Amino acid sequence: MPASYVTHRKQLELILRAWDMPEATAVSTAEIMSWADLHGIDTHGISMIPTYDERRRAGKIDMRARPTVSRETPVSALVDGGGGLGHANARRAMELAIDKARTVGIGVAVVRNSAHFGACGFYALMAVEAGLIGMVTTSASGIQVSPTFGAQARLGTDPIAFAAPGLPGEPFLLDMATTTVAAGKIRNKANENLPTPVGWLVKADGSPSTDPREVAKGGFMTPLGGTPEGSSHKGYGLSGMVNILSSALAGATLVTDPLHTKKPGTMDIGHFLLALDPGLFRDAADFRADVAAFCQTLRATTPADPARPVLVAGDPERRTAARRRQEGIPVGPGLLAKVRDVAAASGAAWIMDS
Amino acid sequence: MPASYVTHRKQLELILRAWDMPEATAVSTAEIMSWADLHGIDTHGISMIPTYDERRRAGKIDMRARPTVSRETPVSALVDGGGGLGHANARRAMELAIDKARTVGIGVAVVRNSAHFGACGFYALMAVEAGLIGMVTTSASGIQVSPTFGAQARLGTDPIAFAAPGLPGEPFLLDMATTTVAAGKIRNKANENLPTPVGWLVKADGSPSTDPREVAKGGFMTPLGGTPEGSSHKGYGLSGMVNILSSALAGATLVTDPLHTKKPGTMDIGHFLLALDPGLFRDAADFRADVAAFCQTLRATTPADPARPVLVAGDPERRTAARRRQEGIPVGPGLLAKVRDVAAASGAAWIMDS
């Protein structure tokens, strides 16, 4: 039986605490990781524990770090993550952006010297909860995407999130990697011996392939669009935007730097977080009503298949969250065993299947 | 022989002046339209003249309008376009955003009560010329894109532009519709009796098709990603972001409003323009050096085909502009005849092939 959200979240907190993360940071990080799992963004929650454990033991993440503000104006902040895990860094940065947006209408905070921060959408949603528009991007550690026309990995999954308040509890919430599909989707096809659709990946020589095993043989993921004729230059261009906002602006190491994540010490991932008050331009309630009407009209679009209605960004994740709040958060047996091993080796109590 | 850039631009100015556009507005609008043609963005320059003429004669665009600022703070401005063509409105808005970014580090201006403004990239580039990052979106008048899983047009081409300064004269400049491909590309395939790649369009019932003539038979364009398995929900999500920023924020008519472009009077298209000073976070020269290094490394990616090197957003358009500055701007005979007819009917002198 899956653990409840509360147990799931507490388990993560126990592991993070066992890693010497300060208590408030651990509570906050466990909340953000559990948010991802609750919303079905399974690649960004508990499944990251083995990776985080590896990185902290290799000295690539400093679990004792606390974010500090190294530069600030009424509209902006530069946060130094101190080499820590990204969640608390990005949350602190978005808090600063929100405070500034509440005062002057807009705030931008960037983070350098950080690490993986989980799901972008969480931070964009923080802005929505303050009645604001939120926009968030982050650089990635893994280099696995080849640019359009390329036969070499140069970019990461390079996600972008954008959120705006509409009906209460039903914001527009886009949270997307700028790749065609997540690496996990390609792995799933390989595990099932199924071909992948054209555009999901290219071989090591840059040519298209429908064999998901090509990625393990030196192939690459593709930018959104999939192929040159599907306009993969657009996904590639968006990933450029994400890297410029997340890394170049904050002074974090560029994904194209040969020393990216290979410098001595921690990882130096960068994040970008923006909060914008719609009240700068019109009555904020009118703005929210327009966003709500926009989303409602989109949902009412005639569907190609009545069994698959048209959704709006954020809808699928909210449905998953409603279900998992009732039924608990499922974690596959393989992953669960790995996390239990990490917990045991770290000296953390195990509460998930006791 | 194609007309020179100077003649091309002057011809546009003469037509706009003949439409009673104020002189400064006409000069500015002709410059922006010619910029698109010079850079190979042929869908957004002189080719729009017949459409603009139709709309002005139908009372949908007021050529005598001047933008006014209806609301302003140190970081923001709301511009009322007065029902005029979008170019001068968006340029005025980006000037305001840049002024604010120069003073406080960031500026956002939105425009309502506007019309088609040509190529997004021009305005993003204005920010770059001031040493800033620029981001621009606009709502569209045409409703021709079906959401993922939909069988009904709900959205427009919904473009986004993002620009950042790097090497002098070589900024990163992304300017993309959030659709898979432009309508013109589909029309070209139909004209040549060639099939379209999977993902470019869907039939009127929302099912995929490779027949470009399906669009004329009630079919729809697709969001970037092309198909649900190609992650068209991401392109669809981006077009949602564009509409929220461009229309909902400015209070322009939503593309999903049944009265979109159908209200009495002018079109009420909305635009969003942001300028951000990288000097808020680090030395601006270091930022530009990072953007330049990022672009250079991407260009140096091993190509799949040595004859097709990897490019960076903005490169293809700059190459076209360099060539057209020398050789003039080609305009097909069919379009040229149409524009000449418009000029004659408007009482504008004709200088393009004299």
Residue A290 is assigned to a structural domain of this protein: no
Question: What pLDDT tens digit does each residue of chain B (354 aa) get?
Answer: 899 999 999 999 999 999 999 999 999 999 999 999 999 999 999 999 999 999 999 999 999 999 999 999 999 999 999 999 999 999 999 999 999 999 999 999 999 999 999 999 999 999 999 999 999 999 999 999 999 999 999 999 999 999 999 999 999 999 999 999 988 889 889 888 999 999 999 999 999 999 999 998 999 999 999 999 999 999 999 999 999 999 999 999 999 999 999 988 999 999 999 999 999 999 999 999 999 999 999 999 999 999 999 999 999 999 999 999 999 999 999 999 999 999 999 999 999 985
Cβ–Cβ contact B204 with A under 8 A: no
Q: How many CB pairs under 8 A join A and B?
A: 270
Partner residue opposite A229 with nearest CB, options B149, B197, B301: B197
A76 plus A150 within the same structural domain: yes
CB-based contact, A206 to chain B, within 8 Å: yes
Strand partners of residue B164: B172
* B148-161 pLDDT per residue, tens: 999 999 999 999 99
* Inter-chain CB proximity B293 and A225 less than 8 Å: no
If asked whether residues A162 and A95 sit together in one domain, one would say: yes
Q: How far is CA B141 from the centre of its chain?
A: 12
Task: Kindly state whether residue B210 falls inside one of the protein's structural domains.
Answer: yes
Q: Is A287 on the interface with B (CB under 8 A)?
A: yes
The nearest CA of chain A is from the CA of B28 a distance in Å of: 26
Q: Which of B110, B176, B197 sits opposite A234 (nearest CB)?
A: B176
Instruction: Tell if the CB–CB gap between A74 and B230 is shorter than 8 Å.
Output: no
B256: nearest CB among A149, A278, A297 = A297
Cross-chain Cβ contact A180/B257 below 8 Å: no
Which B residues, 293 through 332, put their C-beta within 8 Å of a C-beta on chain A? 293-294, 297-298, 301-305, 308-313
Cβ count within 10 A of residue A306:
7
**A163 shares its domain with A281:** yes
The model's confidence at residue A170, banded by pLDDT at 50, 70 and 90, is very high
> Which of B73, B75, B139 is best to mutate for the A interface (most A CBs within 10 A)?
B75
DSSP letters, B217-273, are TT-EE-BTTSSGGGTHHHHHHHHHHHHIIIIITTTPPPTTSTTTTTSSSS--EEEEE
Angle, CA A290 vertex, CA B120 and CA A163 arms, to 5° = 65
Closest CA to B45 of B58, B55, B31: B31
* Whether residues A74 and A207 fall in one domain: no
Name the residue in chain B with its Cα closest to that of A107: B106
**pLDDT, tens digit (0-9, with 9 covering 90-100), for A291-305:** 999 999 999 999 999
> Do residues A203 and A57 both lie within one domain?
no
pLDDT of residue A73: 98
Phi, psi of B304 (to 5 degrees): -65, -40
Inter-chain touch A305–B250, beta carbons under 8 Å: no
Give the per-residue pLDDT at B353.
80
Mutate to test the interface with A, among B106, B287, B308 (most CBs of A within 10 A): B106
- Where does a domain end: B165, B198, B221? B221
pLDDT digits (tens, 9 = 90+) for A56-111: 999 999 999 999 999 999 999 999 999 999 999 999 999 999 999 999 999 999 99
Q: Across chain A, where does the E strand assignment appear? A: 68-73, 76-80, 106-114, 133-138, 160-167, 170-176, 201-202, 208-209, 220-221, 269-276
Interface of A with B in 102-121 (CB under 8 A): 104-106, 108, 110
Say yes or no for a CB contact (<8 Å) between B181 and A104.
no
pLDDT at A69: 98
In a domain, A238, yes or no: yes
Q: Supply the pLDDT for residue A353.
A: 79
The verdict on a CB contact (< 8 Å) between B248 and A309 is no
CATH of the domain at B339: 1.10.1530.10
Q: CB–CB of A293 and B164 under 8 A? A: no
Beta carbons of B281 and A231 less than 8 Å apart:
no
Q: Percent of chain A beyond pLDDT 90?
A: 95
The whole domain housing A196 covers: 183-221
The last residue of a domain, from among A198, A221, A244: A221
Asked if A33 and A69 sit in the same domain, the reply is yes
Residue A295: predicted pLDDT: 98
| Residue A80: Cβ-neighbour burial (10 angstroms; 0-12, 13-18, 19+) | buried
Q: What is the CATH number of the domain that holds A160?
A: 3.30.1370.60
Q: What is the pLDDT of residues B56-93, one digit of tens each?
A: 999 999 999 999 999 999 999 999 999 999 999 999 99
Claim to verify: residue A201 and residue A106 sit in the same structural domain:
no
**Are A237 and B151 an interchain contact pair (Cβ–Cβ within 8 Å)?**
no
Does residue B112 belong to any structural domain of this protein?
Answer: no
Does A297 fall in a domain? Answer: no
Q: What is the pLDDT of residues A314-347, one digit of tens each?
A: 999 999 999 999 999 999 999 999 999 999 999 9
Same-domain pairing of A101 and A196: no
**Average pLDDT across chain A, whole number:** 96
CATH number for A209: 3.30.60.50
B70 touches A at CB < 8 Å: no
Contact B294 A240 (CB under 8 A): yes
What token pair was written down for B162? 């993002």
Phi-psi region of B185 (alpha: psi -120 to 50; beta: other; left: phi over 0): alpha
Q: ipTM for the complex?
A: 0.98
Q: Residues B287, A248: contact at Cβ < 8 Å? A: yes
| A189 and A200 belong to one structural domain | yes
Chain A CB contacts of B209 below 8 Å: none
**Domains in chain B: how many in total?**
2
Looking at the fold, whether A200 and A334 belong to one and the same domain comes out as no
Nearest CB to A243 within list B106, B202, B294: B294
Q: Residues 2 to 61 of A: which have CB under 8 A from any B CB?
A: none
Q: Is residue A307 part of a domain?
A: no
pLDDT band per the 50, 70, 90 thresholds, residue A188? confident
Of B76, B205, B297, the CB nearest to A280: B76
Residue among B199, B233, B313 minimizing CB distance to A240: B313
Q: Is A220 on the interface with B (CB under 8 A)?
A: no
**Contact check, Cβ <8 Å, A313/B240:** yes
Find chain B residues with C-beta within 8 A of A174's C-beta. Answer: 237-238, 240-241
Q: Is residue A173 part of a domain?
A: yes
Confidence of residue A354 (pLDDT cuts 50, 70, 90): low
Å between A18 CA and nearest CA of chain B = 34
| Contacting residues of A for B294, CB less than 8 Å apart | 240, 243-244, 248, 254, 256
Asked if residue B230 is part of any domain, the answer here is no
Alpha carbon dihedral B10, B12, B17, B20, in 10-degree steps, equals -170
Give the per-residue pLDDT at B172. 98
**Residues A16 and A346: beta-carbon distance below 8 Å:** no
**Can you tell me the distance from the alpha carbon of B44 to that of B29, in angstroms, rounded to the nearest whole number?**
12
The pTM of the full predicted model, rounded to 2 decimals, is 0.98
Co-location of A204 and A107 in the same domain: no
Closest-approach residue (CA) in chain A for B150:
A303
**Is the CB of A301 less than 8 angstroms away from the CB of B150?**
yes
List the single residue in A78, A147, A243 with the smallest CB-CB distance to B301: A147
Of B228, B222, B204, which is closest to residue B214 (Cα–Cα)?
B204
Q: Of the residues B196, B221, B246, which one is the last residue of a structural domain?
A: B221
**Same-domain pairing of A102 and A25:** yes
What's phi and psi for A73, nearest 5 deg?
-135, 175
Please tell me if residue B270 touches chain A, with a CB cutoff of 8 Å.
Answer: no
Chain B interface mutation, best of A167, A294, A295, highest count of B Cβ atoms under 10 Å: A294
Q: Of B331, B348, B351, B347, which is closest to residue B48 (Cα–Cα)?
A: B331
Q: Residue B208, exposed/middle/buried by CB under 10 A (0-12, 13-18, 19+)?
A: middle
